[in-house]
Amino acid sequence: MSRAATAALRDPLRGLSTWWTMLKICLEERLVYRGDFALGTLMRFLPIVTQVFLWTAVFSATSRSDIAGYSRNDIVAYYLLTMLTRAFSSMPGLAGGIARSVRDGSVKKFLIQPVDYVSFLLAARVAHKLVYYAVAVVPFGLVFFLCRSYFPPVPDATTIAAFLLSLVLSFLLGFFMEATLGMLGFWFMEVSSIVFGYMLVQYLLSGHMFPIDLLRTVPVGSGGVSLADVVHWLPFEYTAYFPSAVWLGKVRGPELLGSLAIEAAWVVAMAIACRIAWRRGTRRYAAFGG
């Protein structure tokens, strides 16, 4: 094997080794404050009880057996699945942390060290999710076991595979969307207002508050297009609604394949946008402090 071929083989292996090292370091950092992490994880389950009581009260106050094709059991199961999906796609503090590191100058170490900043952030978030689910698997399992009567029968293997794929894609989509927002710190002194606006829109259009199907009754223009049709082409619903709808059998067949393709396309688009923002931002960056 020639020297050029050997060097070409070593480069990706060296990059993978570096990323694995970063992941292990990030895991160790996450495990330092295990008690605080566990308490924070458990506190996130309190809204589940509120939502179960809320939707039970909503259906008790109406004579309808379903709303937009969702029965009371479907709504509760949907919300529980959405909590699971959001645990994958949510990236608390990511955008603000990136903007802060740009503002205080601490990001400059990634400009002189052989460590890719975006890869480091991704490794940190993978570590965060691994520790989170290691802590949350018991309470999640307990809640889903206690609420098992709300769920339909376990779907077939193809649906489960599509569900798991959609979860992985939702994690990547959530990461690259928030990382790209954080990169705006190269152009703006403060991005908190932008992040707040994004979180508001994301909460409303992701399906976290209610199933996107409820928006099918909201027309957009005069062509018979509903707001749900518009949201379907945006990235937000793939961070909450879509994986939950897949498990519940609301998305099937060609529609399922098409939606997975849209989600994957958004992941690629946001990954490219993140890389472009990083490269262009660092070109104009003047470091202070740090």
For the segment 57-80, what is each residue's pLDDT rounded down to a tens digit?
A: 877 777 777 777 788 888 888 888
Residue 13's DSSP bridge partners are none
Residues 91 and 175: beta-carbon distance below 8 Å: yes
69 DSSP assignment: T
How many residues are listed for the chain in this entry?
Answer: 290
pLDDT at 45: 64
Lowest mean pLDDT across 19-23, 222-226, 278-282: 19-23
- Output the six-digit token pair for 101: 């590191």
pLDDT at 27: 61
Lowest mean pLDDT across 101-105, 109-113, 210-214: 109-113
Q: b/e string for 182-216 if b means 16 or more Cβ within 10 A?
A: bbbbbeeeebeebbeebeeebeebbbbebbbbbbe
Please report, for the chain, the start and end positions of each structural domain, with discontinuous segments joined by +.
Answer: 9-283
In whole numbers, what is the pLDDT of the chain averaged over residues? 81
